[in-house]
């Protein structure tokens, strides 16, 4: 019963999280955005005290159920492990914990957070790893299926679906996501929860707490016949059937062992409720070393507090030619300072809080956000205006971000946040290169920051060129995106390190 309940909750959970990355209408974010905010590391980085306390209490009560019910990467691995069971049953065995490796990975994550090395956090955060898989691999497949439905519906004179563009937002991110998928699939198919109990720093952190959980799987030695079936079905490799012990720091409370035991020797309960000789002996040993236990608990609380403080410190692509000629795709200019979306406050704030989960990239309806390829900010979002511009009325990315890297912002506030300024490039401007009137940038500037003036001050009839009022420009990129010059726009946005209100 417990196993079935866990499977149902896990299935619902991973579907809801996945929909956040697949939905291009914004509907899922309105209803399911809280699923991203209850993930452990995003909650820790955003200092969401309520969520952190809730997850800590949940772990102290039921053990690492977070890993098997809430974490999408853990649930995905259970799916691969289930496939592996169909091929070869009873294939697991107990193995000692790789404690040193687990602590090293936790220290690496803490060091990455303190030092502001976003690439380290991005590669180790389990929720972010799943987000990359969903955004880079599943989302294009989902969009392709949607486009097929839109095509079929159009033939039937129905417009219940509409086509969307399918394009590669980040080649490096796709490579990382693909490698991650293959590695996790192989590990889970062969050995179950190897990644969760050796590499994942969140699993290690929760493992500290789960040792002291009130309810946990407990072996009743008076009923156990030593068949070892529980150990051979434990994907966490944490059950030693020879000594009748369970390593609760690695147990993810999947309940598989309970369902496999034919003697009813394993139950999910309080350890004190199972009266067995084995447990009595262990209780006696614990009483004898009471001081050591207290010291161990103090050490655990000290490490947890230190880690917490450290974290707190710191459509298929269309070519429109109008029947005349192929329009050359725009190329991104060489910006000296990258652009980050309104709500990020500054590049430093985004870098220190972002886990590169790609949720904002997936949520952006204008094709502005994409993952970075720079090592210092690897896979973190930045803005580029080749496909669209940052519309003043859109706040999707700030609504979706679960870590505080992009803070919530209202439409009114966004219109006054200066994230960059426009720069005119004389040699690319169409009125000067082709001798024709243009003014696209001035017409579409939402803040009226661009004016058209005669190119020759002495001749009022000369072709007009744009002049930018830096004090009114907010860096939305409408001018850059809508400029007809190709391949580089005659006007582009230079980012600001720190945003300000105008």
Of 402, 405, 380, nearest to 127 (Cα)?
Answer: 402
- State how far the Cα of 447 lies from the Cα of 369, in Å rounded to an integer: 21
pLDDT of residue 297: 58
Give the SS3 label for residue 69.
helix
pLDDT tens for the chain, 502 residues: list them. Answer: 788 999 999 999 999 999 999 998 888 988 999 999 999 999 999 999 999 999 999 999 999 999 999 999 999 999 999 998 888 888 889 999 999 999 999 999 999 888 878 788 888 999 999 999 999 999 999 999 999 999 999 898 888 888 888 888 888 999 999 999 999 999 999 889 999 999 999 999 999 999 999 999 999 888 888 888 999 999 999 999 888 899 999 999 999 899 888 888 899 988 876 654 444 545 554 454 455 445 555 655 565 556 555 555 453 344 444 455 567 888 999 999 999 999 999 999 999 899 999 999 999 999 999 999 888 889 999 999 999 999 999 999 999 999 999 999 999 899 999 999 999 999 999 999 998 999 999 999 999 999 999 999 889 889 999 999 999 999 999 999 999 999 999 999 999 999 999 8
At CA 413, angle to CA 407 and CA 417, rounded to 5? 80
Per the DSSP assignment, residues forming a β-bridge with 371 are 381
- State how far the Cα of 367 lies from the Cα of 361, in Å rounded to an integer: 8
Per the DSSP assignment, residues forming a β-bridge with 219 are 266
pLDDT of residue 118: 79
pLDDT of residue 317: 41
Q: 223 exposed, middle or buried (CB, 10 Å; 0-12, 13-18, 19+)?
A: middle
Inter-residue long-range contacts of 32-40, CB under 8 Å, 24+ positions, other chains counted:
33/399, 33/400, 33/402, 36/127, 36/357, 36/359, 36/400, 36/402, 37/402, 38/70, 39/70, 39/71, 39/127, 39/402, 40/66, 40/71, 40/127, 40/202, 40/205, 40/206
- State how far the Cα of 234 lies from the Cα of 244, in Å rounded to an integer: 13
Of 224, 227, 220, 249, nearest to 236 (Cα)?
Answer: 249
pLDDT of residue 113: 86
Phi first, then psi: give them for residue 346, nearest 5 degrees.
-165, 165
pLDDT of residue 102: 94
Phi first, then psi: give them for residue 274, nearest 5 degrees.
-100, 110
Q: How many CB atoms lie within 10 A of CB 1?
A: 8
Three-state SS for 196-264 is CCCCCHHHHHHHHHHCCCCCEEEECCCCCCCCCHHHHCCCCCCEECCCCEECCCCCCCCCHHHHHCCCC
- State how far the Cα of 490 lies from the Cα of 342, in Å rounded to an integer: 24
Contact present, 43 and 402 (Cβ < 8 Å): yes
pLDDT of residue 277: 44
Of 486, 439, 437, nearest to 467 (Cα)?
Answer: 439
- Quick one: tokens of 425? 């490039």
pLDDT of residue 241: 87
pLDDT of residue 91: 82
pLDDT of residue 279: 46
pLDDT of residue 276: 47
Radius of gyration from C-alpha coordinates of the chain: 28
DSSP for 83-143, written as a single string: HHHHHSSS--------HHHHHHHHHHHHHHHHHT-HHHHHHH-HHHHHHHHIIIIIHHHHH
């Amino acid at each position: 019963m417990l196993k079935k309940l866990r499977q149902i909750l896990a299935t619902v959970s991973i579907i809801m999280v996945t929909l956040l990355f697949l939905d291009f209408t914004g509907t899922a974010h309105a209803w399911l955005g809280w699923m991203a905010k209850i993930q452990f590391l995003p909650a820790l980085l955003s200092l969401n005290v309520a969520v952190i306390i809730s997850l800590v209490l949940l772990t102290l009560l039921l053990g690492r159920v977070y890993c098997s019910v809430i974490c999408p990467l853990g649930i995905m691995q259970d799916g691969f492990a289930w496939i592996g069971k169909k091929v070869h049953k009873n294939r697991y065995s107990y193995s000692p914990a790789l404690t040193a490796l687990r602590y090293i990975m936790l220290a690496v994550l803490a060091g990455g957070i303190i030092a502001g090395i976003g690439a380290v956090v991005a590669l180790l955060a389990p929720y972010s790893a799943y987000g990359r898989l969903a955004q880079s691999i599943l989302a294009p497949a989902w969009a392709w299926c949607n486009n097929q439905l839109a095509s079929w519906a159009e033939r039937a004179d129905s417009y219940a679906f509409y086509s969307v563009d399918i394009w590669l937002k980040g080649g490096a991110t796709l490579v990382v996501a693909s490698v991650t998928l293959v590695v996790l699939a192989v590990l889970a198919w062969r050995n179950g929860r190897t990644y969760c109990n050796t590499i994942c720093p969140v699993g290690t952190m929760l493992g500290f707490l789960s040792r002291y959980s009130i309810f946990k799987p407990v072996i009743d030695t008076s009923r156990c016949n030593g068949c070892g079936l529980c150990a051979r079905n434990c994907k966490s490799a944490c059950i030693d059937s020879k000594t009748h012990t369970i390593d609760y720091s690695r147990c993810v409370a999947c309940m598989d062992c309970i369902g496999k035991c034919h003697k009813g020797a394993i139950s999910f309960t309080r350890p004190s409720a199972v009266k067995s000789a084995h447990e009595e002996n262990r209780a006696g040993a614990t009483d004898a070393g009471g001081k050591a236990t207290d010291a161990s608990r103090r050490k655990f609380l000290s490490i947890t507090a230190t880690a917490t403080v450290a974290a707190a410190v710191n459509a298929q692509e269309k070519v429109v030619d109008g029947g005349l000629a192929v329009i050359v795709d725009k190329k991104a200019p060489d910006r000296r300072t990258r652009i980050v979306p309104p709500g990020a406050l500054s590049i430093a704030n985004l870098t220190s809080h972002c886990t590169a989960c790609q949720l904002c990239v997936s949520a952006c309806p204008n094709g502005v956000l994409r993952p970075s390829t720079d090592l210092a900010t690897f896979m973190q979002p930045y803005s580029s205006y080749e496909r669209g511009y940052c519309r003043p009325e859109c706040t999707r990315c700030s609504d979706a971000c679960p870590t505080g890297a992009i803070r919530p912002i209202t439409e009114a506030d966004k219109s006054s946040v200066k994230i960059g300024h426009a720069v005119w490039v004389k040699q690319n401007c169409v009125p000067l290169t082709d001798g024709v009137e243009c003014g696209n940038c001035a017409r579409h500037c939402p803040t009226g920051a661009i004016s058209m003036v005669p190119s020759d001050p002495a001749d009022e009839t000369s072709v007009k060129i744009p002049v930018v009022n830096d004090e009114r420009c907010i860096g939305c990129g409408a001018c850059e995106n809508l400029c007809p010059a190709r391949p580089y726009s005659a006007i582009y946005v230079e980012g600001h390190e720190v945003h300000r209100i105008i």
